[in-house]
Structure 1
């Protein structure tokens, strides 16, 4: 896939729907999905929107499926086993399993006591597993393809809302979580009673994390203190790199699948920013500020097929596909 020119951008409007999360398909280079809510997710219904886009971004993405839900939807993940299966995180405390060829979920699994804010599908080891994280301060691991209506195991050692949970792309059965308690924790599925590592990550709530795709020990976190930090989980006492520049909370962080040190982040300051935490000493890790939204930017993802291609979504009722100029030289 080639993009037509430097910094090309394709856009799509989602009238009356405010974007919360966007994810590229792990099977198709021209497919992605977004969850977006009415009334900013405070009340009303939501939609799971599935898009196809032209390989050269010569036109806007096209909606090929619109699945509606009666409550808010705050996150989504694609199956690692079936190209048409998605899981969403519901404001009603449930996760919804969808075959995107249909408009109705094929399963609704409810075990959390409050909103589910994050879902992630394991892509290492046992690919049947889905991780859900909730405002009830817990995480659940589900065997979704089995059809089991109860989680396999629960993790409940955070003392605040769990905003995100992400499986390690390197170590089977390992995942990281972030919480309103200011910490990020690393867990082993085989030992649910105690985290493997506790990172005293930030001075405020930690909203997001992501694993390096090149180093099994590197984790990146983003916080309401407006910063990102890079951690070696073997040494939780201090971070490897502190990245400042956002004016408001960092809502989501993503590590590039193509370049070792490249990170993208989005924020309540209406921007997306790119960083390179491996830049030589004396150089700022911040690379570029993209200001193409007029409201909170909630969703962000890197394509695993197209180097440096990003998708994002925001509360300004829009979705963007683009390749930042700062990343063209890193391909």
Structure 2
């Protein structure tokens, strides 16, 4: 059963399921399609009958991404159009715990490290830099430069401490080492802007990129001369790609073509299903880590949807093969 939350006047940009609470979801949203106006951070709870609002906060500029703390179930970080990162606490009803503004343009991506023994945030901005922060957001620990275009996506490796990937408008996917503050690998992954990247949860060498060229490419970082697979079917830019936490070869992508697509890159053809349940750009997408094959997405049509796609509910892709 599909469950829907309507956020009137707010266009969804990103969703993330809590790493601690299986039915809790955060959504970063903006007024006026993110072009002007303010932003809203929503914390939602799936109930037996639908989706309830737990907490919402307003921010003076659009919010484009959100990530839950991996250390504290109440804390989230969001990235704003004013170049800021804000730390929010669901127990604190009013202002953010802290806001840091070092980026000079929109912060389009935030991510909280998942590997044990480190607690770091990475941000990616339209100012072409990525910054690494400790969770106090007092000041950035390092600024990484190298991209020649806007950074749309920054994602920590779930396997390798101090390592994150970034995707950019310059058409490259880059792998960074935080300790040396250096780019370890630059992959010319697409001949167009790359809006999203993600790591396979089961193999530290496998990544996916989603591009304005309408393709998702799966990469083996040990040999980047050509992709492992190129997933074709979307008809407009791909806004976000996410690997399944429950299957090694399954991933999802959402697009400006209003669809969410599910793929198994080990199969031929790789397309498992196309979900068409939005009437606008689909920008946010996440798998639930706790509930196998449950997916959350959000769209510019002012809705957040929680559902299990038919292709995954059959059980054929429920195990890590």
> Normalization by structure 1: what TM-score?
0.94
Q: 2:177 aligns with which of 182, 188, 191?
A: 188
Of 62, 66, 84, which residue of structure 2 is paired with 1:72?
62
Partner residue of 1:319 out of 299, 304, 321: 304
Query: Retained in 2: the 8 A contact 1:115–1:136?
Result: yes
Residue 173 (structure 1) aligns with: 162
- What is the alpha-carbon distance in structure 2 between the residues aligned to residue 113 and residue 36 of structure 1? 20
SS at match of 1:326: helix
Give the Cα–Cα distance (whole angstroms) in 2 for the partners of residues 156 and 34 of structure 1: 29
Aligned counterparts, 1:234-313, within 5 A: 234-279=222-267, 283-313=268-298
Is the 1:47–1:73 Cα contact (8 Å) retained in structure 2?
yes
CA displacement at 1:197 relative to structure 2: 1.1
The answer to whether the Cα contact below 8 Å between 1:18 and 1:36 also exists between their aligned partners in 2 is yes
Deviation at 1:126, TM superposition (A): 4.0
Report if aligned partners of 1:35, 1:46 keep a CA contact under 8 Å in 2. Answer: yes
How far apart, in 2, do the equivalents of 1:127 and 1:74 lie? 25
* Alpha-carbon distance in 2 for matches of 1:191, 1:125: 19
Corresponding position of 1:87: 77
Q: How many angstroms apart in 2 are the aligned matches of 1:235 and 1:155? A: 24
Partners of 2:25 and 2:137 in 1: CA distance: 27
State the match for 1:5 in structure 2: none
Q: CA deviation at 1:127?
A: 3.4
Partner of residue 120, structure 1: 111
Q: Is the contact between residue 265 and residue 273 of structure 1 (CA under 8 Å) also seen in structure 2? A: yes
Shift in Å, 1:93: 0.5
SS in 2 for 1:221: strand
SS at match of 1:327: helix
Q: Distance in 2 between matches of 1:62 and 1:83?
A: 18
Normalising by structure 2, we get a TM-score of 0.97
- Shift in Å, 1:258: 0.4
Q: Give a deviation string over 1:120-161, Cα, whole Å, max 9, x none.
A: 0001044320000000000000011xx352100110100000
CA distance in 2, matches of 1:232, 1:182: 17
2:102 aligned partner: 111
Q: Deviation of residue 29 (structure 1)?
A: 0.7
1:197 aligns with 2:185: yes
Q: Say which SS state the counterpart of residue 174 (structure 2) adopts.
A: strand
Residue 72 of structure 1 and its aligned partner are, at CA, apart by 0.7
Matched, 1:46 2:39: yes
The residue aligned with 2:15 is 22
Give the superposition deviation at 1:51. Answer: 0.8
**Counterparts of 2:221 and 2:86 in 1: how far apart (Å)?**
32
Residue 4 (structure 1) aligns with: none
Deviations for 1:234-280, whole angstroms, at most 9, x for unmatched residues?
Answer: 1121111000000000000000000111100000000000000012x
The superposition leaves residues 276-297 of structure 1 with CA deviations (integer Å, 9 ceiling, x where unpaired) of 0012xxx210110000000000
Q: Deviations over 1:75-114 (max 9, x none)?
A: 0000011000000001110100001122310000111110
- What RMSD in Å do the two structures reach over aligned CA positions? 0.9
Instruction: Give the structure 1 partner of residue 216 of structure 2.
Output: 228
Q: Does residue 208 of structure 1 match 2:208? A: no
Q: Contact (CA 8 Å) 1:88, 1:97: kept in 2 or not?
A: yes
Say whether the 8 Å CA contact 2:98–2:137 is kept in structure 1.
no
